[in-house]
Amino acid sequence: MAGFPRFLIGASTKMYFSHARTLEWCRAVAEIARTHPAVRGGDAALFVVPGFLSVPGALDVFGALDGPDGAAMVGVQDLAAEDSGAFTGEVSGPQAAELGCELAEIGHAERRRLFGEDDAAVRAKTAAALRAGLVPLLCLGEAELGEPPAAAAECIRQLDHALASAGASGLSGRIVVAYEPHWAIGAPEPAAPEHITAVCTALRAHLRGLPAHAGSAVIYGGSAGPGLLSRIGHAVDGLFLGRFAHDPAAVAAILDEVSNIAGHKPSRAGSGTIPADSIGAGGTDV
């Protein structure tokens, strides 16, 4: 089972953008990716998870992106636990895959808090994504700040529970685990680098012991923005960006970090400049 590039860098637009602004953002990010050495050289892949109505447009934009296979992936922010039927307002995994989506975001803290999704719903939706050939973008995280070993144990519990139905059904495939401690979402600062690296190292080790999901990745979200990857890149496979990513220049700045880690000099077109006083500023989320 093939893996991902070294780093996955992506964002969910949630319900912040209009359809027109979503496509404008996608075009700007695609243009950055078109020439950036981190993407052109295969060190990074981008993903975007737009609102449902903007998925076809996002697929058109990123589908036209020249570059290595998997240079950009589009996903949905949620999916139904069932594949078809009388479920008004739902979007199924087969429908998303038919359009060309590759990812399905599952289990975000907001879905849990605002819409009552529990571990059972996450488990059913994870199996639904794998049935449809989609990569589950599985959001995990502890509710309260605590010691890293306890946080890692809770996240591993959530991961195993999410994959239980898939395992019982013999489903396999890559997954992307997005570690997002709930207490860090929307916080002025991301979790401490030492905390992130301890939890993500444990998650990566656990994933390596799941042969049905070989080639999977662990990324960090939760007030993630420019400057963070350089501090935690040795322990994670990418970032799930917060509202910093609303400015395409922030995406360029993080791709510059990828290039620096990989030992490549960022191109002028790909280089993004983010004011130092904005890094770690409040109001970000994933």
- From residue 138, alpha-carbon distances to 12, 98, 253 in Å are 13, 21, 25
Query: Looking at the chain, how many residues does it have?
Result: 286
C-alpha closest to that of 146 among 198, 222, 106: 198
Active site residue 180: yes
Token digits of residue 149: 């070993």
Angle between helices 55-63 and 19-35 (to 10 degrees): 20
Cβ 55 vs Cβ 21: under 8 Å: no
Cα(129)–Cα(60) distance, integer angstroms: 22
Find the DSSP H helices in 80-223. Answer: 93-99, 109-115, 119-131, 148-162, 164-168, 193-208
Of 102, 154, 180, 257, catalytic: 180
Active site residue 213: no
Token digits of residue 72: 């950009």
The SS3 of residue 241 is strand
H-helix or E-strand containing 34?
A: helix 19-35
Of 108, 182, 195, 213, catalytic: 108
Cα(119)–Cα(126) distance, integer angstroms: 10
Q: For residue 11, what are the β-bridge partners?
A: 48, 241
The residues carrying an active-site annotation are: 108, 180
